[in-house]
Amino acid sequence: MRNNFCAFLLLFAINALALTEQEFIEKVISQDTNFEKDQIYVTIKQMELETSRASYSNWATALTASLSSSYYDIEKDTTSKKAYEKHRLKDTQEISVGIKKRFLSNPSSLTFKATHSIPDTDITRYKQDKISNEYNVTTSDNTYKVSYKYPLLQHDGNALSLKTYRRDVLDLEREMLDFSDAQEKFLVGRLKQYIAWNFHQKNADIYRDYKSRLQAIKVNEATDESKLNTAILLANQDILSNDSKLQSLKKVLVSMLNDSSLWTKSPNIDINKHPEIMPNLTQYLQKNVRNLLKIEIDKRLKKIDLEYHNNQSLYQLDFNISAEVNNNKGNTMTTDYKSTSVLYTTRLNFSMPIGTDINNKKNIRITHLNLRKLDIDYNNKLKDIFSDAQALIVELHLAKKSLNEYQKLITNVNDESNLAHTSYLNKSVPITTLIDAYQEKCDVELDYIKALTSYQKSLLKYNDKLDKVLPKSASLHSY
């Protein structure tokens, strides 16, 4: 009963100190300071996008006010006895509020405007060379207007702002992919160290098991003592050499991850991991590999430029529609009045330049060439990644076969070492035979760990090629 309890405590302690690959990945990703610079780049792009969106599509309000004064005078020599306007002094006060909205989905604009004006006019009328009469005309106008403009061909002067917004959307998307690349690059580097850590840790376990087996041997003859001591000394050298590398590697990881708990941890890699084979590898690469996605974004950016330049080469044809309500009251020389009027207007404006824009034609041609370059880059990159992934799949398949063979070999050498131990106890074989059997068992186990480590590195390389190392939960949208 007591032995079972002790075994349970030992197993619990081992599990508590084990660090799985998933737990290690979570530790690495949680180190935000390693990605602070990349996060700043993303934040800058977010600010640029928000600014260009607000600049183009927010309601833009303008308040204008004006004061004007004009004086009119005419020198008139006439025989007519009809009164005419000789002097006119006009003072006008006007204030207006306008609000304009542009849309991200199309180049149209919607405008609302309210205007209040008070013209005040003093008029002096003459009849021949003498003053006939003087009077004042005061008017109060309130005008409310809504208008909508849709460029049917060439977009108006705001086309560049709309292009900037559309580019900023893609620039942010690309920067987020760069951020994920930085995370994955850092993570892959640490996982390589994690695999090396596992390699040296497993070697340490094998060396110590080999040493404990040697120390458990009871010599049959006095001459066997020196042979056994020599084997133990050599085992100690292997242990010290491996421990030096192990502690050095752990020191680096503790420093890089700022986590002292790693000193007491041991890696625990699932040895049954295998590559995920995609049924349609090409389609998977096109939808998931960031290098390809970034080239696609670069192509979309160029297409936005091309769309802009093509549009700017068109004629201008703008459709306008408006409705205006005017409330007016005032007086004439002899009467007072008050009125409300409504004006509906529909208009098409057409304009075409004389000649062609040489710079715009050049920009169109260059953009077409740049798109072709990106198509070539994309196809070459897709072929390279596809070929590398296929080669790694073959390599991993063969490595897995080799590991299975090692499992059989380990069983065989373990049986041989047990047989050698029994034979040595029966004094039917010398101590060198037993030491050699233990050494052979140790060597095969070390070779297996070396092959397993190579397999794990190739699997990591395969997942890295497919951008599968970084967990989905670590993508930037979670920030």
Residues 191 and 254 occupy one common structural domain? yes
Residue 185: which of 46, 38, 45, 296 has the closest Cα?
38
CB 123 within 8 A of CB 91: no
- Indicate if the pLDDT at residue 127 is higher than 80: yes
pLDDT tens sequence across 288-312: 999 999 999 999 999 999 999 998 8
Does residue 52 belong to any structural domain of this protein?
Answer: no
Question: For residues 162 and 146, what is the distance between their CA atoms, to the nearest angstrom?
Answer: 23
Residues 334 and 420 occupy one common structural domain? no
Least confident of 48-52, 163-167, 219-223: 219-223
pLDDT band of 246, cuts 50, 70, 90 = very high
**Given this model, what pLDDT does residue 157 score?**
75
The helix or strand, by DSSP H or E, that contains position 170, with its residue range, turns out to be helix 159-215
DSSP state, residue 59: P
| Three-state DSSP class for residue 346 | strand
Residues 75 and 171 occupy one common structural domain? no
Residues 286 and 434 occupy one common structural domain? yes
Residues 142 and 238 occupy one common structural domain? no
Q: Can you tell me the mean pLDDT for 121-136?
A: 83
Residues 184 and 131 occupy one common structural domain? no
Alpha carbons within 13 A on the beta-carbon side of 210? 28
pLDDT tens sequence across 464-474: 999 999 988 76
Residues 386 and 459 occupy one common structural domain? yes
- Indicate if the pLDDT at residue 2 is higher than 60: no
Does residue 7 belong to any structural domain of this protein?
Answer: no
Average of per-residue pLDDT values in the chain: 89
Does residue 78 belong to any structural domain of this protein?
Answer: yes
| Residue whose tokens read 């003498």 | 130
Q: Which residues contact 35 (CB under 8 A, 6 or more apart)?
A: 179, 182, 183, 186
pLDDT band of 478, cuts 50, 70, 90 = very low
Q: Can you tell me the mean pLDDT for 258-264?
A: 89
Residues 144 and 247 occupy one common structural domain? no
Residues 123 and 81 occupy one common structural domain? yes
| Three-state DSSP class for residue 217 | coil
Residues 293 and 186 occupy one common structural domain? yes
- Indicate if the pLDDT at residue 5 is higher than 50: no
DSSP assignments along 133-168, one per residue: EEEEEEEEEEEEEEEEEEESSS--TTHHHHHHHHHH
Q: Which residues contact 306 (CB under 8 A, 6 or more apart)?
A: 364, 367, 368, 371
**CATH (domain of 209):** 1.20.1600.10
Q: Can you tell me the mean pLDDT for 140-163?
A: 89
**Given this model, what pLDDT does residue 134 score?**
82
Residue 148: which of 110, 113, 114 has the closest Cα?
110
Question: For residues 285 and 279, what is the distance between their CA atoms, to the nearest angstrom?
Answer: 11
Does residue 187 belong to any structural domain of this protein?
Answer: yes
Least confident of 95-104, 229-238, 355-364: 355-364
Biggest alpha carbon–alpha carbon distance for the chain: 156
DSSP state, residue 236: H
- Structure-token pair, residue 331: 């007086």
Residue 161: which of 84, 49, 264, 275 has the closest Cα?
49
Does residue 290 belong to any structural domain of this protein?
Answer: yes
- Indicate if the pLDDT at residue 113 is higher than 80: yes
DSSP assignments along 74-116, one per residue: --------S-EEEEEEEEEEEEEEEEEEE-SSSS-EEEEEEEE
Least confident of 133-137, 167-171, 282-286, 429-433: 133-137
**Given this model, what pLDDT does residue 16 score?**
46
**Given this model, what pLDDT does residue 124 score?**
85
Does residue 233 belong to any structural domain of this protein?
Answer: yes
**Given this model, what pLDDT does residue 84 score?**
81
Question: For residues 323 and 344, what is the distance between their CA atoms, to the nearest angstrom?
Answer: 5
Q: Can you tell me the mean pLDDT for 321-328?
A: 93
**How many residues are recorded in the chain?**
479
- Structure-token pair, residue 12: 């619990």
pLDDT tens sequence across 427-475: 899 999 999 999 999 999 999 999 999 999 999 999 999 999 998 876 6
Does residue 2 belong to any structural domain of this protein?
Answer: no
pLDDT band of 73, cuts 50, 70, 90 = confident
**Given this model, what pLDDT does residue 15 score?**
46
Does residue 1 belong to any structural domain of this protein?
Answer: no
Question: For residues 107 and 317, what is the distance between their CA atoms, to the nearest angstrom?
Answer: 13
- Indicate if the pLDDT at residue 356 is higher than 90: no
Residues 184 and 276 occupy one common structural domain? yes
Residues 346 and 387 occupy one common structural domain? no
Question: For residues 403 and 452, what is the distance between their CA atoms, to the nearest angstrom?
Answer: 7
pTM: 0.81
User: Count H helices, E strands: the chain?
Assistant: 9, 8
Q: Could you give the number of structural domains in the chain?
A: 2
Separation in Å, CA 7 to CA 3, 10, 268:
6, 5, 20
Q: β-pairing, 60-73 with 84-102?
A: antiparallel
| Three-state DSSP class for residue 459 | helix
Q: Can you tell me the mean pLDDT for 148-172?
A: 89
- Indicate if the pLDDT at residue 13 is higher than 70: no
Main-chain phi, psi angles of 474, to 5 degrees: -95, 0
Task: Provide the domain limits for residue 72.
Answer: 64-152+318-351
Cβ density class 187-211: b for 16+ within 10 Å, e for less: bbebbebbbbbbbbbbbbebbeebb
